[in-house]
Amino acid sequence: MFRFIVRRLLQLIPTLFGLSILLFIWLRRLPGGPETAILGERGTPEMRAAIRRNLGLDEPILIQYGRFVRRMVRLDLGTSISTKREVTTEFLQRFPGTVELTVTAMVIAIGIGIPLGYLAARRRGRFLDHASVGGSLIGICIPVFFLAYVLKAIFSENLGWFPSSGRQDPTIGATRITNFFVLDGLMTREWDAAADALWHLVLPGLALASIPLAIIVRITRASVLEVLNEDFVRTAEAKGLTENVVRRRHVLRNAMLPVVTSIGLLTGGLLSGAVLTETVFAFSGIGAFLAEAINQRDYPVLMGFIMIIAVVYVLVNLIVDLSYSLIDPRVRVR
Amino acid sequence: MRASRPKVAIAAVAAAALAVAGCAESDREGSSGSSNETLVFGVAGDPKVLDPSFASDGESLRVARQVFETLVRPEEGGTKVSPGLAESWEPDAAGTTWTFKLRSGVKFHDGTDFNAEAVCTNFDRWYNAKGLMQSPDVTAYWQDIMGGFAANEDDTLPESLFKSCTATDATTVSLAFTRVSSKIPAALMLPSFSIHSPKALQEHDASNVTGSADDIKYPAYATEHPTGTGPFKFKSWDVPNKTLTLERNEDYWGDKAKLKSLIFRTISDENARKQALRSGDIQGYDLVGPADVEPLKGEGFNVLTRPAFNILYLAINQKGNPKLADIKVRQALAHAINRQALVDSKLPPGAQVAVNFFPETVEGWNGDVTKYDYDVEKAKSLLAEAGASDLTLRFHYPTEVTRPYMPNPKDLFELVSADLQAAGIKIEPIPLKWSPDYLNATTSGSAHDLHFLGWTGDYGDGYNFIGTFFDRQKDEWGFNNPALFEKFKQADTTADQAAKVALYKEINADIMNFLPGVPISHAPPAIVFGKDVTGVKASPLTDERFSTAEFKS
């Protein structure tokens, strides 16, 4: 087990190098540069040239890349060109927001998706089945930003139940420790701050949950259906075990493997893809910041964030792989 | 029986959610509703830095304008130079030394006194900038106005316009310049020339910009300790929550702020700002979409329209296409465009067709210039005369952007290109993403013929508009007109205000004869406040004073 983990982590090194080379070349090949974003309409050719020179962008790409690697091995990701704050700081201030949002979305998706998928499978061909399958199709098809607007229009603008944007009411004046706002609120016993942060997560969490929820419903349903047809389930039912026991021990446990795999992939996808939801809800996470960084050609932020996200992605998948062995003892990691 | 458990579970989750909801809801109302003295204002982007000496983006400058003050400032709601920390000012006979009489009894937020010494400390700090502080992205405005530094480390930097600062007594300070410049004193209204507390500057090592050229790091002063004399004091910057909080300066020398605290909250998406206002999360926001102005007014929100202090123009690049160097072709383009129709249908109420490349409120505006009325037949015959009846033009327009002078680039492009096509010109549309592709392509003079661009003025001086465009050969326009460039130099170095204004009038007439591009319109940008918020006056320079904002009881 330990060796398995170490090997997976060592595999990260060549992956990161390969990724960094591709990313570096791709970014430098994009038209324009940070100087245009920095100066806007104001830039004289002289000022533009001076900024490029100062940033070392006039040097050969190999030298620039060498400088980046020298920094990276020291775990120094440099400074954002546009905000002049360290890339690591920027990441640590924003990533917790995306994690909170992703976790909320996944809790909603899993909490509703698995029971719904299971019920749909057990009542195959009946109303609930048709409703959830049809509903999941809609969930997959509706663009997230559209759903986000609709949710906001109804629950925020009209009914006023939820805040329309942000991570926390700024007038609360909460203490920041980890930048996980809910956690910070609990740690400092600022209950109102924690509740407010949680409350800010509901609408964006729902919007972001729509696609994974739909996928989880479908995969659970398909997987449960398959298991229900297995001989051992029929045997178990024939033995006279209660439905509860059959469900927990036999059906769900066996049906969960593909579901867990997809949850891992979906979570990784959400972590890196919450751009639209974050933008619509003015939610301060890495998604919206990355989108901005691309517009600004903020090379250090793009390189740094994507490198870190790659590492996180690998870690999430590692956890998923490890959880297999917990769910199904037949799958042992070597 | 089967479904009982899930039902119970769902009911339990719903109940828990409602409980949390009730609690959070009451907290929210409790904290923001108890005192009507906190205004949350939605802005489109995070400020970049809190030391305005290093800032050139609008959001940083907006914060600076509440925390800091400058020697002179724009009159409220206008562009004219009016008293700030200086009560009066005058140039010497040569026009190179300006003496400012300072306000007394002013204190910085750290309790120290504001005086002539403090002013000199600030100017000396900027002038003696070394190392990374000379980088153009750190001191953009200083370089824009003053050129260079005491000791230029980069050979391409020009000589500094600023020469020295002398404190005659506590309330008298003289600024000496190397030559006469039309930018003085108007440019000193820029927040980049805000006066900081010398004590705070020193305590927090404010000039210690470290790192390397490609890895600039600001000192803590620039992100945590901005210390000025303004009506608001800096309290906190919660980067993860995208909010910046200011609080009332109880020791302010003038009328104290009516708000106890002022929070700037970043909501980059325009629609999200509108929804936040409607749902009561914020009590105002900037960069209102032109299409939202009337609906928001109708709903009872306080929509303020800033006097237009910008210009949208159609640039003609003479370098990209030799035919465009023919004045007849450029005149044909100007006659072909129905600017009035464009202003009436695509710009917010109050927009005007441009006669010069700057708005009427700037001194030197000249109504008596060559005008190019909408006349398709004339355009066609001019093209025929120039032997350019089969003209094809590559027309750049930006996407994914809204600028104050250009609310909807694609609509504008479609109208203008339809007009040009009606005059027999073939159009090859080239849409590009605003940042950085579009700016890069249009300002670096790539192979293009026409493009839209514009400008919002920094201060009320003609040079800030037309000088920026036409004072020398630029890639954006691709023409070389030494006579025009020479007149700019003359205007910039004319000390006598009346003579200077006369020169700008002449230059405006010259420009409209030479027709490097077509000035299209001046559009008034809007800013909105909640139904119960009053007291703010819209400023053409976006210099809104939040200290006068208050909630109607």
Q: Which residues of B touch A93 (CB under 8 A)?
A: 239-240
Q: Which two tokens stand for residue A257?
A: 């493997």
Phi, psi of B89, deg, nearest 5: -160, 150
Say what the alpha-carbon torsion angle B377, B379, B385, B387 is, to the nearest 10 degrees: -120
Would you state the pLDDT for residue A332?
Answer: 62
In whole angstroms, how far apart are CA B317 and each of B415, B447, B493?
Answer: 20, 9, 28
Helix pair angle (B339-346, B409-422), 10° resolution: 150
Helix (H, G, I), strand (E, B) or coil at B3: coil
Q: How many residues does chain B have?
A: 553
Interatomic CA distance for residues B229 and B197, integer angstroms: 8
What is the average pLDDT score of chain A? 86
Helices and strands of chain A, counted as H and E runs:
15, 0
- Both A169 and A242 in one domain: the answer is yes
Inter-chain touch A36–B436, beta carbons under 8 Å: yes
Same domain for A97 and A63, yes or no, is no
pLDDT for the residue B483: 94
Q: What is the pLDDT of residues B213-222, one digit of tens each?
A: 778 889 999 9
Q: H or E stretch including B424? A: none
Q: Tell me: the pLDDT tens digits for A95-129?
A: 999 999 999 999 999 999 999 998 898 888 888 88
Q: Looking at the structure, do residues A293 and A147 belong to the same domain, yes or no?
A: yes
Does residue A107 belong to the interface with chain B, where contact is any CB pair within 8 Å?
Answer: no
Rounded Cα gap, residues B421 and B298, in angstroms: 38
Q: What is the pLDDT of residue B199?
A: 97
Q: How far apart are CA A241 and CA A227, in angstroms?
A: 16
Rounded CA-CA distance A290/A275 in Å is 8
Query: What pLDDT band is residue B244 in, cutting at 50, 70 and 90?
Result: very high
Q: How far is CA B47 from the centre of its chain?
A: 13
The reply to whether A252 falls in a domain is yes
Partners of B91 in beta bridges: B98
Which residues in chain B are contacts of A82 at CB distance < 8 A? Answer: 48
Name, in order, each residue with C-beta under 8 angstroms of B10's C-beta and a sequence gap of 6 or more.
none
Element (H, E) at B241: none
Is A269 within a domain? yes
Is A294 in the same domain as A211?
yes
What would the pLDDT profile of B132-151 be if each residue is shown by its tens digit?
Answer: 999 888 898 999 899 999 99
Does residue B75 surpass a pLDDT of 50? Answer: yes
Residue reference for tokens 């329309």: A164
Contacting A residues, span 134-163, partner chain B, CB-CB under 8 Å? 149, 152-153, 156-157, 160-161, 163
Helix (H, G, I), strand (E, B) or coil at B307: coil
Residue B98: Cβ within 10 Å count: 20
Chain B nearest CA to A4, separation (Å): 36
Residues of B in contact with A284 (CB under 8 A): 239-242, 266
Q: Establish if A117 touches chain B: CB-CB under 8 angstroms.
A: no
Does residue B321 register a pLDDT over 60? Answer: yes
Task: Read off φ and ψ for residue B219, nearest 5 degrees.
Answer: -70, 165
Residue at which a domain ends, from A74, A104, A127: A74
Q: How far is CA A138 from CA A147, A211, B403, B458, in A?
A: 11, 9, 36, 50
Lowest mean pLDDT among A121-125, A300-304, B34-38, B204-208: B34-38
Identify the CA nearest to B58 among candidates A288, A41, A85. A41
Question: What's at A176, amino acid-wise?
Answer: R
Of residues B318 and B8, more confidence is placed in B318
Output the pTM of the full model.
Answer: 0.85
Together in a domain, A264 and A121: yes
The pLDDT value given to residue A195: 93
How many domains is chain A built from? 2
Distance in angstroms (rounded) separating the CA atoms of residues B491 and B183: 10
CB B423 within 8 Å of CB B379: yes
Q: Is-contact B175 B165, C-beta < 8 A?
A: yes
A168 and A253 inside one domain: yes
A65 & A157 share domain: no
CB contacts < 8 A (A, B):
215
For the stretch B445-465, pLDDT in tens is 667 899 999 998 888 888 889
ipTM of the complex as predicted: 0.84
Distance CA A259, CA A262 (A): 5
Q: Is B147 left (phi over 0), alpha (psi -120 to 50) or beta?
A: left
A79 in any annotated domain: no
Per-residue model confidence (pLDDT) at position B215 = 81
pLDDT at B194 over 50: yes
Contact at CB, A115 and B48, closer than 8 angstroms: no
Cis peptide before B74, with omega less than 30 degrees from 0?
Answer: no
- Cβ <8 Å between B263 and A171: yes
Tens of pLDDT, residues B84-106: 999 999 999 998 999 999 999 99
Find out whether A48 and B137 touch, Cβ atoms under 8 Å.
no
**Rounded (5°) CA angle A84-A88-A89:** 65
Give the model's pLDDT for residue B27: 41
Asked if B382 contacts B441 with a C-beta cutoff of 8 angstroms, the reply is: no
Residue A87 lies in a domain: no
Of A18, A45, A74, which closes a domain? A74
In chain B, residues with a C-beta closer than 8 Å to the C-beta of A47 are 136, 140, 143
CA count, 13 A, side-chain hemisphere, B537 = 10
DSSP H or E run through A208:
helix A191-228
Q: How many Cβ atoms sit within 10 Å of the Cβ of residue A273?
A: 17
Q: Which residue has the tokens 């200011």?
A: B246
Question: With bands split at pLDDT 50, 70 and 90, how would you rate the model's confidence at B341?
Answer: very high
Q: What percent of chain B has pLDDT over 70?
A: 93
Find out whether B227 and B196 touch, Cβ atoms under 8 Å: yes
Locate B161 and state its tokens: 């316009």
Domain for residue A84, yes or no?
no
Q: How far apart are CA B418 and CA B420, in angstroms?
A: 5
Using an 8 Å Cβ cutoff, are B314 and B529 in contact? no
Answer for the pair B119, B98: CB distance below 8 angstroms, yes or no.
Answer: no
Of B182, B189, B175, the residue nearest B82 (C-alpha): B189
Domain span including residue A64: 1-74
User: Would you give the DSSP letter of residue B519?
Assistant: E
Claim to verify: residue A18 and residue A147 sit in the same structural domain: no
Q: How does the average pLDDT of chain B come out, rounded?
A: 89
**Measured between alpha carbons, how far is A85 from B97 in angstroms, rounded to an integer?**
39
Start-to-end C-alpha separation, chain A: 6
The helix (H) or strand (E) run that includes residue B366 is none
Q: What 3-state class would DSSP assign to B398?
A: strand
Are both A142 and A12 inside the same structural domain? Answer: no
pLDDT at B405 over 80: yes
Looking at the structure, tell me whether residues A65 and A99 fall in a common domain. Answer: no
Average the pLDDT over B468-497 and give the result.
Answer: 89
Question: Is A81 part of a structural domain of the chain?
Answer: no
Lowest pLDDT segment from A231-245, B35-49, B256-270 = A231-245
From A333's Cα to the closest Cα of chain B, the distance in A is 34
B364-397 pLDDT tens trace: 999 999 999 999 999 999 999 999 888 999 999 9
Same domain, residue pair A125 and A69: no
pLDDT digit string, tens, across residues B174-187? 999 999 988 899 99
Q: Measure the CA–CA gap between A115 and B452, rounded to whole angstroms.
A: 56
Is the residue at A138 inside a domain? yes
Distance from CA of B104 to the nearest CA of A (A): 35
Query: What percent of chain B is modeled with pLDDT above 90?
Result: 67
Q: Which domain-ending residue is among A27, A42, A74?
A: A74
| Per-residue confidence in pLDDT tens, chain A, 334 aa | 788 888 888 888 888 889 999 999 998 888 778 887 777 776 677 777 888 888 888 888 898 899 888 888 888 888 898 888 889 999 999 999 999 999 999 999 999 999 999 889 888 888 888 888 888 888 888 888 888 889 999 999 888 899 988 999 988 888 889 999 999 999 999 999 999 999 999 999 999 999 899 999 999 999 988 888 888 888 887 888 787 777 777 788 788 888 888 888 888 778 766 888 888 898 989 988 888 898 888 999 999 998 988 888 888 878 878 877 777 777 665 5
d(CA B84, CA B169): 18
CATH number at residue A149: 1.10.3720.10
Residues A131 and A217 in one domain: yes
Q: Where are the beta strands (DSSP E) in B21-161?
A: 38-43, 72-74, 81-83, 86-91, 97-102
Among B6-20, B36-50, B77-91, the range scoring the smallest mean pLDDT is B6-20
| B35 — pLDDT class (breaks 50, 70, 90) | low
Question: Would A207 be classed as within a structural domain?
Answer: yes
Please tell me the distance from the alpha carbon of residue B150 to that of residue B206, in angstroms, as a whole number.
Answer: 18
CB-based contact B275 A292, cutoff 8 Å: no
